[in-house]
Amino acid sequence: MPPLQGPSGPPTAVRWRVCALMTLVSFVAYLLRSNMSVAGVPMAAELGFSHVQLGVVLGAFAWGYAAFQFPGGFLGDRIGARRAITILLLLWAALNLLVALIPRTTAGAATTVLTLLFALRFLMGAAQAPLFPIIGAGTTGRWFPVSGWALPNALQNFGATFGAAATGPLISWLMAAFGWRSSFLLTAPSALLCAWLWWWYVRDRPAEHPGVNRAERDLIESGRDGEGLAPPGAWRAVLRNRGVLLLTVNYFCINYLFYFFFNWLFVYLIESRGLKLLEGGWYAAVPWMAGAVGAVLGGWLCDRLWKRLGSRRTCSRLGAAGVALSGALLYAAAQAPHPLAAVLLLSLCLGAEQFTDAIYWAAGIALAGRDASAACGLMNTGGNLAGGAAALLVPVLVDRMGWPAALASGSLFAFVSAGLWLITVVERPAAELADAVPAGAAV
């Protein structure tokens, strides 16, 4: 490894190139996790699945994703972000390819096909679970200076939501041209390309990267108290941290709303609003594009206000306002008489919800200190248990009460989330980030 460059000259920008790769990986992650919600309509028609059976398949991802969130942070701690993310990307490619090989339903084989799809989606959730605990907490915390965590997380979220936006038109076009199975086959290589790029450029810590000069390293380390090692079993403090536990319940509530978009937006536009397959793919992209803009705006504003108002007022005010607005807009969308009005309101809703996402992650890092990866893993566990709940509750509500009731349930969870923000105190000193990323332990 070449020696670290000297202190002369302005700081290098390696941290932003690492951020760009984190954003690209997030894009691919959402492309390969959102494809099932778009392919689900023709897939269910071919395989003879009901709404609830399709919900079981879609929910399998969320159950696997939730189950491996908390261990996901420890995976990065144990083997390093460079190695961990590379392995995960290879798994995403393999699992995506296996979905394309699912056999057609024959007499007596419907249960077997359903079980295979459930298992593959569960494993995809498990393989994607460590991504954001590793890069959203650990890598961001290690590569960016104190009070600069929200914008990198927002850019990762921009990549994720833009990936979800691209999924609708891309997968719809691939399905129309080649069939739903080929839509999985042809998108898998994107993960292989990312695996190569990540392994080639990213390092676990700035000090290990030959392109980082002393000025950039000093900038990243400014305001930290030193890099202390976490004592054995320190992660247990996460389970006793009231702020982290409130944040976990809060993230569950708002992610119920998010998972409506993730799993059911395309189906809703086709079934409730009467859009055609390709038309629905393009309209389904619009809310995710608004979400990408909202994510960046929220991260940028959070970092700016954090320096002026402090962590407590910034997180509670911005977080509560964003999620309450998203709940009101979702309810209004359910009542909209025209499909275009519904799409507009849904777009504003997802933009407001994604505005808050980086605030959750910045709050998790600030609350947990050296245990940030584990804390954000726990928070994301709560957030993605909501995915399993939404995947099953939404189709039940649709079958019994209709689509407006299903959307109203998301509004209710958003309003509860707003209340939780108002009682969550984010006050841990930001300078304790050094404790979040122990020396010698890559996250």
Task: Tell me the C-alpha distance between 72 and 70, whole Å.
Answer: 5
Mean pLDDT by 10 residues, the chain (443 residues): 53 88 91 80 77 79 81 74 91 90 67 85 90 80 75 82 80 81 86 94 87 84 54 64 87 88 77 63 78 85 77 79 92 84 88 88 76 74 79 78 83 91 70 37 29
Which pairs from 97-102 meet CB under 8 Å and 24+ separation? 97/184, 97/185, 97/188, 99/36, 99/181, 99/184, 100/181, 100/182, 100/184, 100/185, 101/181, 102/181
Residue 30 has a pLDDT of 86
Q: Are 329 and 345 in contact (CB under 8 A)?
A: yes
214/5 Cα distance (integer angstroms)? 6
pLDDT at 58: 79
pLDDT of residue 136: 74
289, 157 contact by CB (below 8 A): no
Q: Give yes or no for a contact between 390 and 259, defined as CB atoms under 8 angstroms apart.
A: yes
End-to-end CA distance of the chain: 20
- The residue ranges of every structural domain in the chain are 14-436
pLDDT in the model for residue 94: 93
Distance in angstroms (rounded) separating the CA atoms of residues 63 and 384 = 7
Instruction: Give the pLDDT score at 57.
Output: 83
Token pair, residue 222, equals: 């400014």
Look at residue 274 in the predicted model and tell me its pLDDT: 62
Which has the closest alpha carbon to 24: 202, 148, 145? 202
pLDDT value for 369: 66
Which architecture does CATH list for 14-436? Up-down Bundle (1.20)
pTM given for the model: 0.70
Residue 25 pLDDT: 92
The predicted pLDDT at position 276 comes to: 64
Tokens of 405: 């009731």
Question: Token pair 């939730």 is at which residue?
Answer: 66
Rg (CA), the chain: 21
d(CA 59, CA 53): 10
334-337: Cβ within 8 A, 24+ apart? 334/403, 334/404, 334/407, 334/408, 334/411, 335/404
CB 121 within 8 A of CB 57: yes
Amino acid 440: pLDDT: 30
DSSP state for residue 430 in the 8-state scheme: G
3-state class (DSSP) for residue 213: strand
Q: Which residue do the tokens 């305001």 mark?
A: 223
Show the 3-state SS of 165-212: HHHHHHHHHHHHHHCHHHHHHCCCHHHHHHHHHHHHHCCCCHHHCCCC
Q: Encoding tokens for residue 235? A: 């992660």
